[in-house]
A and B are shown apart, each in its own frame.
Chain A
Amino acid sequence: MLRKATHELVRSELARARRTAAMVTDPVSAGSLRRYIGELEEELHRHPRT
Chain B
Amino acid sequence: MTETSDTIAPRSRKVRVLATLGPASDTPEMIATLFQAGADAFRINMSHGDQASKAQIIRSIRALEQKFNRPSTILADLQGPKLRVGKFAGGRVMLEHGSTFTLDHDPTPGDATRVRLPHREIFAAIEPGARLLLDDGKLVLRVTDHDENRIVTNVEIGGALSDNKGLNVPDVVVPMAALTEKDRSDLSFALEQGVDWIALSFVQRPEDLAEARKLIQGEAALLAKIEKPAAIERLEEIVEMCDGVMVARGDLGVELPPQSVPPLQKRIVETARRMGRPVVVATQMLESMIQSPSPTRAEVSDVATAIYDGADAIMLSAESAAGAWPVESVAMMNAIGDAVERDPMHGDRIHFTVTRPDPTTADALAESAKNIAATVSAAAIICFTSSGSTARRIARERPSVPILVLTPNRETARRLGLLWGTHNVVTRDVESFEEMVAKAKRIALRQGIAQAGDRVIVMAGVPFRTPGSTNVLHVVRIIGDELKDYRAQGE
* Residues in chain A within 8 A of chain B (CB atoms): 8-9, 13, 16-17, 19-20, 23-24, 26, 28-29, 32-33, 36, 39
List of B residues within 8 angstroms of A13 by Cβ: 213, 218
Q: A8-B467, A29-B205 are known contacts. Are A23 and B210 too (CB-CB below 8 A)?
A: no
Q: How distant is the Cα of A29 from the Cα of B217 in the complex, in angstroms?
A: 20
Chain A residues with CB under 8 A of B218: 9, 13
Query: In the complex, what residues of B have CB within 8 A of residue A9's CB?
Result: 217-218
Cα distance, A33 to B210, chains bound together (Å) = 8
Q: How far is the CA of A15 from the CA of B210 in the complex (A)?
A: 13
Consensus secondary structure, chain A interface: helix
Given A29-B207, A32-B207, A39-B214, are A20 and B467 neighbors across the interface (CB < 8 Å)? no
7 closest cross-chain pairs (CB), A and B = A32-B207, A9-B218, A36-B210, A20-B240, A20-B241, A23-B237, A20-B206
User: Given A9-B218, A36-B210, A39-B214, are A29 and B467 also a contact pair (CB < 8 Å)?
Assistant: no
Q: B240–A16 contact, CB under 8 A?
A: yes
Report B-chain residues with C-beta under 8 Å of the C-beta of A26.
205, 234
The 8 Å CB contact of A20, one of B214, B217, B237, is: B237
B209-226 interface bits toward A, Cβ cutoff 8 Å, 1 = contact, 0 = none: 010011001100000000
Among residues of A, the one whose C-beta sits closest to the C-beta of B237 is: A23
Contacts of A16 in B (CB 8 A): 240-241
Chain B contact-residue range equals 10 to 19
A-binding residues in B (CB < 8 A): 205-207, 210, 213-214, 217-218, 234, 236-237, 240-241, 467
Q: Are B240 and A36 in contact (CB under 8 A)?
A: no
CB distance from A13 to the nearest CB of B (A): 7
Query: 13 A-B contacts, Cβ less than 8 Å apart?
Result: A8-B467, A9-B218, A13-B213, A16-B241, A17-B210, A20-B240, A20-B241, A23-B240, A24-B237, A28-B205, A29-B234, A32-B207, A33-B210
- Beta-carbon contact of B241 and A29 below 8 Å: no
Inter-chain CA distance A33–B241, complex, in Å, is: 10
Whose C-beta in chain A lies nearest to the C-beta of B236?
A23
Residues of A within 8 A of B237 (CB): 20, 23-24, 29
Chain A residue contacts of B234, Cβ below 8 A: 26, 29
The answer for the CA separation of A17 and B240 in the assembled complex, in Å, is 8
Task: Output the least CB separation between B469 and chain A (Å).
Answer: 11
B467 near A32 with CB under 8 A, answer no
Question: Nearest CB to that of A9 among chain B residues?
Answer: B218
Q: A33 is contacted by which of B207, B217, B236, B467 (Cβ under 8 Å)?
A: B207
Which residues of chain A have C-beta atoms less than 8 A from B467's C-beta? Answer: 8
Chain B nearest CB, measured from A10 CB (Å)? 9
Please give the distance in Å from A43's CB to the nearest CB on chain B: 10
Assembly CA distance A17 to B242 (angstroms): 10
| A16 to B206 alpha-carbon distance, docked (Å) | 11
CB distance from A29 to the nearest CB of B (A): 5
B214 with A36: CB separation less than 8 A:
yes
CA distance A8 to B206 in the complex (A): 22
